[in-house]
Amino acid sequence: MTAIQQQSGAEILLRALRDQGVEVIFGYPGGAVLPIYDAIYQQNSIRHILVRHEQAAVHAAEGYARSTGKVGVVLVTSGPGATNAVTGLVDALMDSIPVVCLTGQVPTHLIGNDAFQEADTTGITRAATKQNYLVRQSEDLARTVHEAFHIARSGRPGPVLIDLPKDILIAPAPYQPASAEPHRSYRPVTEPDPSRIKEAVRLLKSAKRPIVYSGGGVINAGDAASAALVEFVRVTGMPCTSTLMGLGAYPSNDPQFLGMLGMHGTYEANNAMHGCDVMLNIGARFDDRVTGRLNAFSPDSRKIHADIDPSSINKNVVVDVPIIGDAGLVMQALLAAWHADDTRQDREGLASWWRQIDAWRAVDSLKFTQNPAPGSIIKPQHAIRRLYEITRETGRDTFISTEVGQHQMWAAQHFRFDKPNRWMTSGGLGTMGYGLPAAAGVQIAHPDALVIDVAGEASILMNIQEMATLAQYRLPVKVFILNNQYMGMVRQWQELLHGSRYSESYSEALPDFVKLADAFHGVGLRATSVDDLDRVIREMIAIDRPVIADICVDQKENCFPMIPSGAAHNEMILGPEHQDRAAAVTDEGLMLV
């Protein structure tokens, strides 16, 4: 050894992470990563959060990333540690969340031998990551870590995995700082084509019935992108709708906001999408939850689509003006071009379009009836509305995560977000079990904020072990369960599409959530009737510890409005009175999920 003590691979790894600005790792130890855990033990600058399941480590990193704009970091062992992480990786891939996942691997000389806890991790995760690496040589280690962070956070963000054989972690390795050189082959385009921007502005100015449809890409592009979106919508006077993933980029309480669009979107948002003549899609991907039946989607509009990922453009829907670029840069360019272009905007057309939209709005498609009499059963929508109103009264910075199901959609419809990065939900993959670990990740990043997981009684059991993580790190996350004793979303589809045959969707043998909270060193609360609700919400918020609030809600409530699968935007079921429309769903529609 030379005069300078050479560092081990594990130490070099941590040094590279520090240089990348990493402050927190979510992980779970095991044989293959013991050298890393040993190095973690001997330093203080990176904090390790011990989760209770590797899937939760990835969701926690997603929550951390989504709420901060930073890269979330995961550390798990080989074999089962890596395979447990796969769901989280696909979740991050689908929702474009920047995550770097470090997995242990058996030593290089044993790879391919079916060694103990060996899995072909790079093989298994190839379709679950934006990019993955197996580090075979110590001299590649530091460079690979820097490259992984660059790829995870740039372009369309996503999960990147680095598989680390144990011998590489133990052997001495050289350090290289992050290179300023651009990547050899990977060069995402961020600057939009100016001629396309001009074309888009001309189209938008001549529009009689324009709409802005914004998505998660705007959130990913940072606060400046959301600010530019807001300014553009205000300057142009256009209506704006958002996907599930985009909520918060445009303030929900603003009169120009039409609410969420898509399968459970508002009547005005979906009708405006259907009837518009020019559509500006910024950072959304024409997902099937949004478009409904493709051949009936917004039939009379010219479409402008801006996305950082060229493969999102013309994938599902043919567009007229494709723009490749970063959502923030695109919005800023559109705004500048809007001011520079001297074509007159069709303000008269826009005014009559707004009259039409206001008529749709008057339908009040999110309405529900809550019986206020003491002892009445709680409507789930009412529970979310009150949660929103009471948290707003407190004035605290509030972050909401969700599980997957009806409660998720009700939260999207009735909780109003006015800032980006406050809403964490599994949109693309729809992963039950996402919300609790994601909330833990958010709370780690924002220790003083109010962090609430809006959950269903079925979903919450998928990662309930994370209550122990909350207890260990004193994370005062609130789990707000809309307990309808059903896998409500499954039950709703069975009611509407399968003759009310509730096959396996009843939540039998539920735990007592109040006692469960207690067992996990938290506080359990329960509301069984409408007069309990406000008190329970206030108490939940006031308690500075993990809380499970078991909100017993109407078991048979359905989530409306709804565009049944295979239907068009203007074939919406507004409420129970239109439920028979689902009977018209074709076999082709039945095949869709």
Ligand X SMILES: Cc1ncc(C[n+]2csc(CCOP(=O)(O)OP(=O)(O)O)c2C)c(N)n1
Query: Total residues contacting another protein (rule CB under 8 A)?
Result: 38
State yes or no: is 54 an active-site residue: yes
Question: Whose Cβ is closer to another protein: residue 155's or residue 328's?
Answer: 155
Marked catalytic residue, from 11, 26, 54, 572: 54
State yes or no: is 489 an active-site residue: yes
Residue 146 CB, shortest distance to ligand X, in Å, is: 34
Tokens of 576: 């129970």
Q: Where are the alpha helices (DSSP H) in 395-487?
A: 406-414, 435-445, 466-472
Question: Whose Cβ is closer to ligand X: residue 147's or residue 287's?
Answer: 287
Coil vs helix vs strand at 302 = strand
Marked catalytic residue, from 238, 273, 489, 540: 489
Q: Which of 403, 440, 400 is nearest to 420 (CA)?
A: 400
DSSP string, 53-111: SHHHHHHHHHHHHHHHSSPEEEEE-STHHHHHHHHHHHHHHHTT--EEEEEEE--GGGT
The edge-to-edge listing of strands for the beta sheet with 24-27 is: 47-50, 24-27, 72-76, 99-105, 159-165, 131-134
Residue 437 binds ligand X (CB under 6 A):
no
Give the number of other CB atoms < 10 A from CB of residue 576. 11
Question: Whose Cβ is closer to Mg ion: residue 117's or residue 555's?
Answer: 555
Among 5, 44, 113, 185, binds another protein (CB under 8 A): 185
Residue 196 binds another protein (CB under 8 A):
yes
Residue 288 binds another protein (CB under 8 A):
no
What residue 430 binds from another protein, Mg ion, ligand X, none (CB within 5 to 8 A, per partner kind)?
Answer: ligand X
Looking at residues 419 to 458 of the shown chain, list those that interact with Mg ion (rule: CB under 5 A).
Answer: 456-457
Looking at residues 330 to 349 of the shown chain, list those that interact with Mg ion (rule: CB under 5 A).
Answer: none
Widest Cα–Cα separation across the chain? 81
Among 323, 330, 489, 540, binds ligand X (CB under 6 A): 489
Among 19, 193, 389, 539, binds another protein (CB under 8 A): 193
Residue 315 binds another protein (CB under 8 A):
yes
Among the listed ranges 122-130, 211-219, 383-391, 405-413, the one in contact with ligand X (CB under 6 A) is 405-413
Rounded Cα distance between 505 and 479, Å, is 22
Question: Is 69 in contact with 98 (CB distance < 8 Å)?
Answer: no
Residue 490 binds ligand X (CB under 6 A):
yes
Looking at residues 495 to 514 of the shown chain, list those that interact with another protein (rule: CB under 8 A).
Answer: none
- According to DSSP, the residues that pair with 121 across neighbouring strands are none
Rounded Cα distance between 583 and 587, Å, is 11
DSSP structural state of residue 209: S
Residue 517 binds ligand X (CB under 6 A):
no
Helices (H) and strands (E) in the chain, counts: 22, 18
Residue 403 binds ligand X (CB under 6 A):
yes
Residue 245 CB, shortest distance to another protein, in Å, is: 19
The residues that are catalytic are: 54, 116-117, 166, 489
> Using CB under 6 A as the criterion, which residues of the chain lie in contact with ligand X when the complex forms?
403-407, 430-432, 456-459, 482, 484, 486-490
